[in-house]
Amino acid sequence: MADERRYVAFLVRLWSVHPNGELVWRASAENVHTGERHGFADLTALFDFLRAVVEEEPPAPGQREGGCKET
């Protein structure tokens, strides 16, 4: 049976802002393999993004996240 493990890594940054005196959390997630960064207006959007990443089809065998061939 093929090894079906998958690894993704993101650097997640969180910070608070206070629009209209209300506490709101903002976030960013940076793919450590590709450097691609995404910004989020709230934690729900961050969680939705991460959920979508892990539910994606894995890359073809021999391919890593970001399109780099494994050696």
Q: What is the pLDDT of residue 70?
A: 44
Q: Which amino acid belongs to residue 34? A: T
pLDDT higher than 70, residue 67: no
17-33 residues labelled b (16+ CB within 10 A) or e (exposed): eeeeeeeeebbebebee
pLDDT tens per residue, range 23-58? 999 999 999 999 999 999 999 999 999 999 999 876
Q: What is the pLDDT of residue 28?
A: 98
Q: pLDDT category, 5, cuts 50, 70, 90?
A: confident
Looking at residue 65, the DSSP 8-state letter turns out to be G
Q: What is the pLDDT of residue 63?
A: 57
40-65 residues labelled b (16+ CB within 10 A) or e (exposed): beeeeebeeebeeeeeeeeeeeeeeb
Q: What is the pLDDT of residue 18?
A: 95
Q: Are 26 and 7 in contact (CB under 8 A)?
A: no
Q: Which two tokens stand for residue 45?
A: 């959007």
